[in-house]
Amino acid sequence: MGADRASRPSLSVVIVAHDSLADLRATLPALLAELEQDDELIVVDSGSSDGIAGALPAIAPGARVIAPGRNVGFAAGANVGAAVASGEIVVFLNPDAVVQPGWARTMRAAADGPWDGWMALVTMAGGRQINTSGGVLHFTGLGWAGQAGEPVAAAPGRPGEVGFLSGACLALARSRWSELGGFPAHFFMYCEDVDLSLRIRLRGGRVAVLPDAQVIHDYDFAKGARKWRLLERNRWATILRTYPAPLLALVLPALVLTEAAIWAAALRGGWARMKGLAVLDVIVALPRLVRERRSIQATRRVDAATFAAAMTAELSSPYLGAVGRNAAAGRALALYWGLVRAALGAGAGRR
């Protein structure tokens, strides 16, 4: 199966796998059926103990396997895989994400569109429900899967801009990936897709979901108490790295109140220790985060108002429980965010 490289940009699909052999046996046949001769599959064996390296040649004979020698996490593993990629488009795909027919065609075509980064529509429940139609990003840095649990028929009918891309199936031109410097390796996992999306926005880029490119992903939010530590640590790292100074100053009071609310939730939910460790992680990493912030903010090409335009004040996530359903809290947040947006708009054009 040949590919006309002038009209069909090549794909480098990077899968970071940690004890994911069973998933790969199920997902790789569908993926390989979508790939062309000029495409490549790179599997990063991140400290697995289930024999991925030995089994993969029989499952995907042309795949390239890279083994860092330990579990480096998704972010660093993705960087390792992308570093050896040769395709015009680099795609990051979860090992348990099953691509659907026509996926590759749509992912390729997006390279000619107005998007700087794009994602597939991620479904669950055998493709009947939406896992995420694009991340929703609250101005406090909280992010969640858009339209989670809704029927697939409710998904957007055409490509459209989203708050942030989902790392379950995320793509961008390899040249743009190199410009951005990849994912922050020290995140290990979680929020690296938010951080990347916001860095694209800082440069004036746009990120979108492609409803015609679909993957089925079995999603389970509950993955142990350590997940809360990583989520909170990386949420703060993303805020400190990417938020322009005017936005950061204006949302600081809300960030303080959010901290109080999250601490209360952590105490009720039994993960206060993880929240405390996350705070300590951020404090220890602060000098590095400040250095990274300087470097990232130096690439900014848009004002703070434009950067913040894709954020929201709503709390529509089903995972937020009673807080998300509190009408008074919703009105207060909407009012606050409206004032912030007005203040940013008054200073539009300032760097």
> Cα–Cα distances in Å, from 198 out to 84, 139, 240, 242, 286?
25, 12, 12, 7, 19
pLDDT-derived band at 224 (thresholds 50, 70, 90) equals confident
pLDDT reading at 110 higher than 50:
yes
pLDDT tens figures, 275-287? 999 999 999 999 9
Residue 179 phi/psi, 5° resolution? Answer: -60, -40
Domains along the chain with CATH numbers:
11-217 (3.90.550.10), 226-346 (no CATH)
pLDDT-derived band at 265 (thresholds 50, 70, 90) equals confident
pLDDT reading at 1 higher than 50:
no
pLDDT tens figures, 303-312? 999 999 999 9
pLDDT tens figures, 117-144? 999 999 999 999 999 999 999 999 999 9
- Comparing C-alpha atoms, which of 22, 12, 140, 146 is closest to residue 66? 12
pLDDT of residue 347: 56
> Cα–Cα distances in Å, from 52 out to 60, 67, 203?
11, 10, 38
Is the distance from CB of 164 to CB of 198 less than 8 angstroms? Answer: yes
pLDDT-derived band at 3 (thresholds 50, 70, 90) equals very low
Q: What is the dihedral of CA 57, 63, 65, 71, to 10 degrees?
A: -100
pLDDT reading at 169 higher than 50:
yes
pLDDT of residue 324: 60
Q: At what angle do helices 192-202 and 272-297 cross, to 10 degrees?
A: 20
Residue 261 phi/psi, 5° resolution? Answer: -65, -40
What value does the mean pLDDT take over residues 42-53? 95
> Cα–Cα distances in Å, from 92 out to 50, 77, 149, 217, 316?
22, 10, 23, 14, 27
What value does the mean pLDDT take over residues 161-178? 97
pLDDT-derived band at 2 (thresholds 50, 70, 90) equals very low
231 HSE (CA, 13 A, CB side): 17
pLDDT tens figures, 170-182? 999 999 999 999 9
3-class SS shares of the chain: helix, strand, coil, % to 5: 50, 20, 35
How high does pLDDT run on average in the chain? 92
